[in-house]
Amino acid sequence: MASSRSTGTTFGVTGKKTGQLKPGKSSSESLLATKPQKLSRPSDKLNPKTVDPFAATNKSQSAFASVYMNGGVPCRLIHGSVKHKLQWSTPPDELPFDPVLVTLADGLKETVHPYTFVSRNGFQEMLEVDGAYQKVLPILPKITFSIRAALSHKDNSVFEGGLEALVQLSDVVGPELNQHLKTILVPVSKRMMDKKYKDRITEVVQRLEQNGGKDSLVILKSKIPTYSSIFT
């Protein structure tokens, strides 16, 4: 007597086999299994915009990115659970400020991680070394040029980083920065009308006056007429 169990084989109207279905799965489930669904992750919203330096499509690297990837800035980013930090293969106080600090200053225009972190933190850490004043003076025009470029950038984060770098530089060189203030403050004055940055810019200009002395006031007021001196 022939068994009546189904083999899972189906037949079309012509009587030919049309295929076998796996037990326990419908045809629609089988189709879904062949199309993996890409789900968004919460970390995609939390992590900063990041560039893959090894991506084949990353052909238009910036000058800073190229130098960094080729070891021109002797440090690497260490990711921590709470905060990141830089690990230097050569201590910053042993590095030549030209070209390393000049390169980091140029990197202030970067908009993607890890270049943003490396350039901003590397710039700050090099300015904190002993003897930074003497090392910066010969390259001050190059540094101020790059800071102005960052302050002129349309990206708000780059502008904010430029303000931080300007304060850090002013703290080191003091009145030596006065001769460069006219050009540096051009993009800053344009942002003064933005309520988002008015208070922060005022704080920065106050620091410039404090570090630059009374001789800086005429220059500051020529670019930001509404500014009131901290010495009055």
Strands 17-20 and 9-11: antiparallel
- Give the model confidence (pLDDT) of 99-137 as tens digits: 999 999 999 999 999 999 999 999 999 999 999 999 999
pLDDT at 177: 98
Question: Domain segments of the chain: what residues?
Answer: 62-223
Q: Which amino acid is at 7?
A: T
pLDDT higher than 60, residue 79: yes
Q: What's the DSSP call for residue 114?
A: T
When the pLDDT of each residue in the chain is averaged and rounded to a whole number, the result is: 84
Question: What is the spatial distance between Cα 172 and Cα 131, in angstroms, rounded to a whole number?
Answer: 10
- Give the model confidence (pLDDT) of 5-33 as tens digits: 444 554 444 444 555 545 555 554 544 45
